[in-house]
């Protein structure tokens, strides 16, 4: 299934280059920026300016009337060989019976005059390969997953967008921006716009990024982890208070802290065995070695036994919170940070 997901995006790009879009696509995945980009590319190829009212039709999946969609798909385009029909957030696998029956009939013999796109935006696609619907969808067209991009693709993209503003940014700062703001292009684009407007010089600096960008939860928890490993307890509590003021869900914060502690434990194991950041990256499933390199630096401050106990502590409190046993959520995170600050939580690095 993973290979099929990758092939879907490659096939879409190939179809666009050749100017021969398929009759059907199912667009899904976390990266909304790319979903909208490729939908716009399809519209550019298939719908001439001024003919949108004839050759482009858009439907919301919620409350979709089967007959209206059927008319749109089977209706002939005006002064063009093909038309584009887009349906957003329709659960193809759980739609009501009349609509599903009509869709199955349409998919058996889609006209060559249409490009039908089902796009998942707010709704998450949950496929079921056992169903007739899935078989018909795969036979009629292509599933295209828009997943978060790898750093080697994101860094040139970030650099190009800053260059459009007349700004330069180096690779190391691009990596930091991805780490701080996440790897979704839709979020990064808004941060790039703010940073470029704020930066006074032609070269973007880390102070510019820190001044106006909004960090994702994992990046803030990473800062808290750095403070904990460096025994800067006041700083750790200050960051925790910031998270509370941001009204972050305690379970989500604890989950992020647990991930960081597992990463720290993996990094400490890697150090003890002479492994590099690449090994930590693979073990933790990171898309880049930037967080792995940072973890290796922090891991030097703590012993293997301390890291092991920190992981166990986070797992214990996480289980208690999710089971509703024992601790008040509002105080649980403070207790975890306080417990990690005690000397009994682990010895100094050896």
Q: Mind listing the pLDDT tens digit for each residue in 246-288?
A: 888 888 999 999 999 999 999 999 999 999 999 999 999 888 8
Nearest to 10 by CA among 38, 40, 33: 38
- Asked if pLDDT for residue 348 goes beyond 50, the answer is no
Rounded Cα distance between 273 and 276, Å, is: 9
Rounded Cα distance between 229 and 331, Å, is: 21
Task: Identify whether the C-beta of residue 208 lies closer than 8 Å to the C-beta of residue 169.
Answer: no
- Asked if pLDDT for residue 325 goes beyond 80, the answer is no
Q: Give 18's DSSP letter.
A: H
Q: Which residue has the tokens 């700004």?
A: 167
- Asked if pLDDT for residue 72 goes beyond 60, the answer is yes
Q: Which residue has the tokens 């379970």?
A: 251
- Asked if pLDDT for residue 349 goes beyond 90, the answer is no
- Angstrom distances, CA of residue 213 to CA of 24, 190, 197, 227, 243: 39, 9, 12, 21, 16
Structure tokens at 342: 């005690």
Structural domains in the chain plus CATH codes: 2-145 (3.40.50.300), 151-212 (1.10.8.60), 217-345 (1.20.272.10)
Task: Identify whether the C-beta of residue 167 lies closer than 8 Å to the C-beta of residue 133.
Answer: no
In this structure, are strands 114-119 and 83-88 parallel, antiparallel, or unpaired?
Answer: parallel
Q: Which residue has the tokens 């003021």?
A: 245
Rounded Cα distance between 40 and 42, Å, is: 5
Average pLDDT, the chain: 91
Q: What is the tens place of the pLDDT at every residue in 8-34?
A: 999 999 999 999 999 999 999 999 999
Rounded Cα distance between 296 and 298, Å, is: 5
Provide the pLDDT confidence category of residue 326 given band limits of 50, 70 and 90. low
Provide the pLDDT confidence category of residue 157 given band limits of 50, 70 and 90. very high
- Asked if pLDDT for residue 311 goes beyond 90, the answer is yes
Nearest to 162 by CA among 151, 152, 173, 146: 173
């Amino acid at each position: 299934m993973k290979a099929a997901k990758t092939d879907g995006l490659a096939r879409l790009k190939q179809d666009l280059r050749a100017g021969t879009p398929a009759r059907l696509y199912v667009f899904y995945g976390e990266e909304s920026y790319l979903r909208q980009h490729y939908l716009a590319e399809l519209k550019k190829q298939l719908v001439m300016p001024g003919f949108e009212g004839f050759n482009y039709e858009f439907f919301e999946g919620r409350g979709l009337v089967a007959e209206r969609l059927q008319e749109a798909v089977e209706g002939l385009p005006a002064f063009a060989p093909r038309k584009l029909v887009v349906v957003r957030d329709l659960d193809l696998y759980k739609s009501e019976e009349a609509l599903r029956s009509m869709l199955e009939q349409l998919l058996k013999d889609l006209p060559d005059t249409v490009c039908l796109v089902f796009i998942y935006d707010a709704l998450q696609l949950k496929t079921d390969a056992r169903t007739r619907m899935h078989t018909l969808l795969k036979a009629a067209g292509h599933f295209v997953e828009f997943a978060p991009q790898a750093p080697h693709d994101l860094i040139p993209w970030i650099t190009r967008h800053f260059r459009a503003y007349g700004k330069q940014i180096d690779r190391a700062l691009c990596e930091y921006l991805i780490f701080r703001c996440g790897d979704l292009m839709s979020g990064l684009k808004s941060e790039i716009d703010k940073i470029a407007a704020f930066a006074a010089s032609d070269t973007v600096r880390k102070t510019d990024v820190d001044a106006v960008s909004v960090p994702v939860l994992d990046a803030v928890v990473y800062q808290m982890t750095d403070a904990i490993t460096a025994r800067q307890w006041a700083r750790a509590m200050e960051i925790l208070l910031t998270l509370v003021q941001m009204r972050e869900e305690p379970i989500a914060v604890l989950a992020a802290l647990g991930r960081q502690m597992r990463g720290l434990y993996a990094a400490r194991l890697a150090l003890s065995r002479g492994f590099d950041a690449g090994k930590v990256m693979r073990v933790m499933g990171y898309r880049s070695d930037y967080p792995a390199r940072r973890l290796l630096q922090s891991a030097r401050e703590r012993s293997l036994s301390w890291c092991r106990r920190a992981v166990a502590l986070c797992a214990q409190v996480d289980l208690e919170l999710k089971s509703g046993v024992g601790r008040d959520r509002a105080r649980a995170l403070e207790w975890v940070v306080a417990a990690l600050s005690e000397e009994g939580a682990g010895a100094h690095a050896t």
